[in-house]
Amino acid sequence: MAGGIAAAVPAALFVATAGTALHRQQWLLSGVILPWGAVAALVLLGSVQLLLGAAFRSVIPTAVCGVLCYVLAGWWSAMAPGKRLIAGDLAGNVWVFGIAGVTVLMLVWARRYRRRARRKALAAESVPAPAGGTS
């Protein structure tokens, strides 16, 4: 579990930094602003969380990555005016509040990996030993 947490911390720092830099990218389509950068940042977060969950077969690294990313984004959005990295507009709200939603979804998804690993371990334990051992 320590290895998963050790991998989740730098992953969260990367995702929070890259997502904050990316979230302001917008596309103007027929007078409607589409915050594609915030959506791309959330896809990046989900991808990294999915990778952590699959690699370590645990929900703990996924949760650590999501919580740390949310804390950093919240801190950067609560800074004093002029120093704030995440504004309270549509793109900023999609990015900050989307972190919580994506984290919950990825925790549910990463739970599947834990179940499969547990099922495989139980199946391996329940295999009977061959009868008539060798001497």
Structure confidence by residue, pLDDT tens digits, 27-67? 998 998 888 999 999 999 999 999 999 999 889 999 999 99
Nearest to 74 by CA among 16, 6, 132: 16
Copy the structure tokens of residue 11.
Answer: 């992953």
- Mean pLDDT (the chain) is 88
Is residue 19 within 8 Å of residue 41, measured between CB atoms?
yes
Chain position carrying tokens 């830099």: 21
Beta strands in the chain (DSSP E): 27-29, 32-34
pTM of the full structure: 0.80
Instruction: Give the three-state DSSP class for 32.
Output: strand
pLDDT band at 135 (very low <50, low <70, confident <90, very high): low
- How do strand 32-34 and strand 27-29 relate by DSSP bridges? antiparallel
